[in-house]
C-alpha cells in the first residue's frame, strides 16, 4: 500500500509540473503570436508606404560659370625657420637640420605654394597672396644655455642667410601673383639679449630681417610690407580679419597648448575691443606643432616649423614633428576655405601635397 501511495504522489507531482510547463508555453505562444501580428502589421504598413512613395529625382548640380566665380586670396603662414639651428643624426636620430637644409626646404615650400595655386586657379580666380611671417626666422645664439654648440653659424650669418634666401623666395613668387602682401611679427629667438624683455620688443633680428627685405623691394609695385614694432598685427584678407602673433606668450599646461590658447584668444579679443578692434581668426607659430582649432567665430591656426627632431623636443618632450607650413584660401563670403599642410621633407608616403 505504501508503495502505491508513493507512486500516486509522484504521479501527481509530475502532472503538476506538466501543467505549469503547459501554462508557461501557452503564455509564450500567445506572446509570440502577438509579436508576429505586430510584425505583420509593420510589414503591411511598409508595403503600403512603398506603394505610395514617389521616386525621388536624382539631384543635378548647377553648372558653375567659372568666369563669374568669386575670387579667393591665399594665406601662407611662414615661421620658425630657425636658420642656423644644427641637428644631426649622430646626436638625435629623429631629424636633421642646418642652413643648407633650410634653403632646400624653402625651395620645396615654393613648389608647393605654386602647385596648389595653379591647381585651384582652374576653378577660381586667385590674384593675391598674403604671407604672414610669424617670427623665429633666425635661431639666435643666446636663447638658452649651451645654444652656441647647437648652431652652424653665428647670428650675423643667420641674418644674412635669412635676408638673402627669403628675398629670393619672394622675388620668385612675384611672377605668379598680381599682388603679394607680407605682414611680419618677430619671434623670441630673434631677441638680441639672453634675458627676455631686456630690450624693446622690436630690437630683434627678425625685425631687422623684415626691414631689410622690405627695403630690397622698395621699388616693386606689386609687393607690399607691414612691419610693425608691436608683437602683434591685424590683417584683413577678403573682408576677414586675422590676428597674427608669434605665440611665445601662450602658456602650456602639461605641454598642451590648448588651454593656454583658449585663454589667450579670449583675453586678447577683449583687449582689442578696448581700442575698437576685433578679428575673426588667430594665427600663431612658436609651438612647432601645426593644428587648426575651430571656435565660435573663426578658427585658431598654429603653424609648423622648418626644422624637426631637435634635441630639446626629442629628449625633454619625447616629441618630434615633420617640417611643415600651413597654407589656406580665404573666400569673401565663407572665410577660410581650402587648406593645406605643406610638407617640407622628403617622406613621400605621407605627403599632403
pLDDT digits (tens, 9 = 90+) for 269-310: 888 889 999 999 999 998 888 888 888 888 899 999 998 766
Q: Which of 201, 228, 212 is nearest to 160 (CA)?
A: 212
Give the total number of structural domains in the chain: 2
The 10s digit of each residue's pLDDT in 148-194 is: 667 888 889 899 999 999 999 999 999 999 999 999 999 988 888 77
Whether residues 221 and 337 share a domain: the answer is yes
Whether residues 170 and 33 share a domain: the answer is no
348 domain-assigned:
no
Whether residues 218 and 110 share a domain: the answer is yes
- The count of other CB atoms within 10 Å of the CB of residue 82 is 25
Domain containing residue 303: 72-343
Whether residues 28 and 134 share a domain: the answer is no
Whether residues 23 and 169 share a domain: the answer is no
* Per-residue pLDDT at 141: 81
342 - beta bridge partners?
Answer: 325
Whether residues 77 and 41 share a domain: the answer is no
Q: Which of 132, 81, 85 is nearest to 242 (CA)?
A: 132
The answer to whether 184 and 210 have CB atoms below 8 angstroms apart is yes
The 10s digit of each residue's pLDDT in 15-72 is: 777 777 777 777 777 777 766 767 777 777 777 777 777 777 888 877 766 555 679 9
276 domain-assigned:
yes
Using only C-alpha atoms, what is the Rg of the chain? 33
User: Between the CA of residue 190 and those of 70, 94, 193, 201, 244, what are the distances in Å?
Assistant: 40, 25, 9, 10, 17
Q: Which of 25, 13, 131 is nearest to 78 (CA)?
A: 131
CA 109: distance to chain centroid?
A: 16
Question: Model pTM?
Answer: 0.79
Longest CA–CA span in the chain (Å) reads: 130
Whether residues 287 and 164 share a domain: the answer is yes
350 domain-assigned:
no
331 band by pLDDT with thresholds 50, 70 and 90: very high
242 domain-assigned:
yes
Whether residues 102 and 82 share a domain: the answer is yes
Whether residues 44 and 96 share a domain: the answer is no
CA distance 285 to 290: 8
CA distance 165 to 174: 15
Whether residues 291 and 326 share a domain: the answer is yes
- The count of other CB atoms within 10 Å of the CB of residue 279 is 21
Amino acid at each position: 500500500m505504501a508503495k502505491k501511495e508513493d507512486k500516486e504522489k509522484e504521479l501527481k507531482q509530475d502532472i503538476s509540473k506538466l501543467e505549469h510547463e503547459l501554462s508557461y508555453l501557452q503564455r509564450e505562444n500567445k506572446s509570440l503570436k502577438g509579436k508576429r501580428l505586430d510584425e505583420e502589421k509593420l510589414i503591411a504598413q511598409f508595403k503600403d508606404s512603398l506603394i505610395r512613395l514617389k521616386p525621388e529625382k536624382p539631384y543635378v548640380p548647377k553648372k558653375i560659370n567659372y568666369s563669374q566665380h568669386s575670387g579667393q586670396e591665399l594665406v601662407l603662414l611662414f615661421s620658425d625657420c630657425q636658420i642656423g639651428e644644427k641637428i644631426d643624426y649622430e646626436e638625435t636620430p629623429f631629424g636633421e637640420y642646418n642652413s643648407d637644409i633650410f634653403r632646400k626646404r624653402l625651395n620645396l615650400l615654393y613648389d608647393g605654394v605654386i602647385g596648389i595655386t595653379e591647381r585651384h586657379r582652374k576653378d577660381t580666380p586667385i590674384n593675391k597672396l598674403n604671407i604672414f611671417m610669424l617670427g623665429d626666422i633666425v635661431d639666435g645664439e643666446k636663447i638658452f644655455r649651451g645654444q652656441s654648440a647647437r648652431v652652424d653659424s653665428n647670428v650675423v650669418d643667420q641674418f644674412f642667410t635669412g635676408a638673402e634666401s627669403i628675398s629670393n623666395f619672394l622675388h620668385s613668387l612675384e611672377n605668379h601673383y598680381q599682388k603679394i602682401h607680407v605682414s611680419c611679427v618677430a619671434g623670441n629667438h630673434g631677441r638680441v639679449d639672453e634675458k627676455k624683455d631686456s630690450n624693446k620688443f622690436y630690437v630683434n633680428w627678425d625685425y631687422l630681417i623684415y626691414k631689410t627685405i622690405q627695403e630690397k623691394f622698395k621699388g616693386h609695385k606689386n609687393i607690399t610690407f607691414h612691419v610693425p614694432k608691436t608683437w602683434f598685427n591685424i590683417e584683413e584678407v577678403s573682408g576677414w580679419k586675422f590676428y597674427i602673433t608669434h605665440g611665445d606668450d601662450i602658456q602650456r599646461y602639461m605641454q598642451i597648448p590648448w588651454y593656454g590658447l583658449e585663454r589667450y584668444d579670449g583675453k586678447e579679443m577683449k583687449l582689442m575691443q578696448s581700442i575698437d578692434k576685433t578679428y575673426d581668426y588667430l594665427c600663431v607659430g612658436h609651438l612647432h606643432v601645426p593644428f587648426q582649432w575651430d571656435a565660435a567665430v573663426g578658427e585658431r591656426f598654429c603653424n609648423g616649423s622648418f626644422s624637426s627632431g631637435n634635441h630639446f623636443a626629442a629628449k625633454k618632450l619625447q616629441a618630434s614633428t615633420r617640417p611643415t607650413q600651413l597654407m589656406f584660401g580665404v573666400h569673401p563670403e565663407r572665410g577660410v576655405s581650402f587648406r593645406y599642410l605643406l610638407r617640407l621633407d622628403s617622406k613621400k608616403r605621407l605627403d599632403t601635397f
